Structure 1
Amino acid sequence: MCTAATYQTKDFYFGRTLDYEFSYGDEIVVTPRKFPLDFCHMGKCDAHYGMIGMAHVADGYPLYYDAVNEKGVGMAGLNFVGNAVYQKVEEGRENVAQYELIPWVLGQCANLQEVRKLLAKMNLVGTPFGDFPAAQLHWIIADASGAITLECTKDGLQVYDNPAGVLTNNPPFPMQMFQLNNYAGLSPKQPEHRFSGQIPFTSYSRGMGAMGLPGDLSSESRFARVAFVKCNSVSGDSEKESVSQFFHILGSVDQQRGCCEVAEGKYEITIYTSCCNASKGIYYYTTYDNHQISAVDMHRTDLDSKTLSCYKPVTEEQIFCQN
């Protein structure tokens, strides 16, 4: 499935992996300030914040998987199958379809405080986009001040503080956070022998930090692994050091073809990994067959345009030959 994370050095970084067995035809898409956003139940918006992210463009509309806006707010939707239950359209409410939630939030909100106020008035509905069924998702929303998780279940719309700055898939977010208690004894340091004073132990290797960290591909394990790696990450403040470290953080949950079979002969892979410098509006990414980092800078496009700027991802491996 998928994993999202935040990271703070001199700038604020936000990104995710998208793990699936096939691509819908993803593109890096810049939605400029004057691109008309025609919301299903809320009318048309002709002026809003510009944003950049990975999306599938259908009938000229960007269906974002993840994006950041020009003010530094980032947002990503991750699969939440079996738990996502959307609300019914209600008169007098701000009814927002799940497929338009990312542009709805990022188009209006300059910080996390404004996001919270907007969500308090919102009614999240399951209106589909054309022939696409309503995707069952939950979302991480973040800026340099912190992160929240948004879930809509049978119990209604819930907004949770997210101190880990991480999101994966099922189970619901409070259960994901609670299960981190199982790893309270993890440390990046060489393990201390506390098993018993009656048995002599000898360390058979160096580099045994994080002993007990789960290594499987389940969403619970990925949540714990990325939370640990992110919270213990050390890097410099430069752009290259920060971006490199972010890709290493999400690289801890990279999915290789053949390890996660979802149907006969079909395997989940990490189709892409993104890292956006939300402070500067630069979208970095790698793809399954291209580990060289590519970048699109939203500020090098015309942010006052009325048309989308779309960039096909580089998917073929780029190898630098030194001789």
Structure 2
Amino acid sequence: MCTAAAFRSKDFYFGRTLDYEFSYGDQVVILPRSYPLHYLEQETQTRHYAMIGMACVMEDTPLFYDAVNEKGLAIAGLNFVGNACYHPHAPGKENIAQFELIPWLLSQCASVAEARKRLECMNILDTPFRPGLPAAQLHWLIADREGSLTVESVAEGLMIYENPVGVLTNNPPFPMQMQNLANYRHLSPDPVEATFGPGLSLPQYSRGMGALGLPGDLSSQSRFVRVAFTKLNSRCGESEEESVSQFFHILGSVDQQRGCCHLGEGKYEITLYTSCCNTDRGIYYYTTYDNHRIIGVDMHREDLEGGSLIRYAPVTKERIPIQNAPKGDGV
């Protein structure tokens, strides 16, 4: 279960939570312009846009959960179990495996508009990355500073939706998520007038009562409503520090704590990491479940003309400074 969002202040930011019960060995990965990208049915790309994101690297192949390219186009893949459906080879289409979709688009598309054109002639293959590792059932949020798309490969084919809220979670399919938002059209960040009945005086006994009814459970449909409301009503300054901090607060509204979602056999779903990328500057920020200190990796401090993956293991240990510690040991 995961949540992704796109957000604009002065710059454009994109990120997600990854909620699961264990990690596959995730790393912050920078893929430079000359790293060869091999595809099942497409020609190898030896020159392409550079990109940065969180990935599991297998057989020298980065399997990206989310990534942003040097042009500012961002993509995140989120679980879509039970609805995702991939297909066999389709003549006349660009046949791309599920695990190839993020690098395929980010390697050659500079905008959502360009990505949409490629998607319109795409077929997502049902071929697994390797035997014993079935294709993950996903749908995708694709965004730049001009807009967002949701992409879902279902039994009927590849569906491409304009996403006016710039948010995605998991099931149900995107049109149902948007329809469900209408059930919450009365929510407001402002105090609301009492309309219960004429002549009845009902006091507003607390701040925030305009948001009464905002769902607080961990289901994907409720998280969609909650993060959409939080994001669309979010206000912050334009500095990098204010914007990044606010983005983490937005996704913090759907953080999953160990113990609240029991999967059986002592396993619990938690927010393994939360990411926020400044797509204009190519800086990938993240926190992990046991490290709430925001860590950044700047892709432009690396050799983007190189031919080797650049990897950083996430910082997963909390460091809690004591403000009144002896000089040099505190905050």
Pairing of 1:122-271 with structure 2 (within 5 A): 122-130=122-130, 131-271=132-272
- Which ranges of structure 1 fall in alignment gaps of 5 or more residues? none
User: Cα deviations across residues 17-69 of structure 1 (Å, max 9, x unaligned)?
Assistant: 00001100000000000000001111211111000000000011000000000
Distance 1:103 1:24 in 2: 19
Distance 2:157 2:287 in 1: 36
Count of residues in correspondence between the two structures: 323
Q: What is the aligned-residue RMSD (CA, Å)?
A: 0.9
Please list every run of at least 4 consecutive aligned residues from structure 1 whose deviation after the TM superposition is greater than 3 angstroms: none
Q: 1:199 is aligned with what amino acid?
A: L
Distance 1:194 1:307 in 2: 63
Distance 2:91 2:204 in 1: 66
- Aligned twin of 2:109: 109
TM-score with structure 1 setting the length: 0.98
- Which ranges of structure 2 fall in alignment gaps of 5 or more residues? 325-331
- Aligned twin of 1:12: 12
1:322 and 2:323 matched: yes
The alignment partner of 1:157 has SS state of: strand
TM-score with structure 2 setting the length: 0.96
- Aligned twin of 2:299: 298
| Residue 86 of structure 1: how far off its partner (Å) | 0.7
The alignment partner of 1:240 has SS state of: helix
- Aligned twin of 2:70: 70
The alignment partner of 1:123 has SS state of: strand
The alignment partner of 1:223 has SS state of: helix
1:38 and 2:38 matched: yes
Equivalent pair of 1:191/1:211 in contact (CA under 8 Å):
no
| Residue 74 of structure 1: how far off its partner (Å) | 0.3
| Residue 121 of structure 1: how far off its partner (Å) | 1.5
Distance 1:234 1:315 in 2: 29
The alignment partner of 1:37 has SS state of: coil
Instruction: Give identity over the alignment, percent.
Output: 64
The alignment partner of 1:44 has SS state of: coil
Q: 2:285 is aligned with what amino acid?
A: Y
Pairing of 1:70-109 with structure 2 (within 5 A): 70-109=70-109
Distance 2:171 2:199 in 1: 41
Once structures 1 and 2 are overlaid, which stretch shifts more, 191-200 or 239-248?
A: 191-200
Distance 1:118 1:216 in 2: 37
The alignment partner of 2:300 has SS state of: helix
Q: 1:6 is aligned with what amino acid?
A: A
